[in-house]
Amino acid sequence: MTANERLHLSRVAALGCIVCRNLGYGMTPAEVHHIRTGQGLKRASHFETLPLCHAHHRTGGYGVAFHAGKEAFEANYGTELELLQQTREVIDEIDRYA
């Protein structure tokens, strides 16, 4: 992993969960989720990542956690690509005011 990739992953995680943000829950600790859309069997680039809390990433169960059911997760919270775009916009906004 390059220094730029490490920095980006750190910045993504520091945003807090993008789903919790959208639900108005405020800042919740996040882990990095590499998007799966369009990736086939390989993992997405470190720059194609979302910040998700444990519950929205893997422990929240069907309809809550991405890894418990992608279709239900996306129906409830938006697609990976929509959430990726939003994540990028938040980072860009932070950069504009830095």
What was the pLDDT predicted at 38?
65
How far is the CA of 47 from the CAs of 27, 43, 85, in angstroms? 21, 11, 11
Largest CA distance in the chain: 38
CATH number at residue 18: 3.30.40.190
What was the pLDDT predicted at 40?
65
Count how many domains the chain has.
1
Residue 33: strand pairing partners = 50
Average pLDDT of each block of 10 consecutive residues along the chain (98 residues)?
96 98 96 83 86 98 97 97 97 93
CA angle 31, 66, 73 (to 5 degrees): 130
Question: Within 10 A of 23 (CB to CB), how many other CB atoms are there?
Answer: 13
Residue 39: domain span: 3-97
Question: Within 10 A of 11 (CB to CB), how many other CB atoms are there?
Answer: 16
pTM to 2 decimal places: 0.92
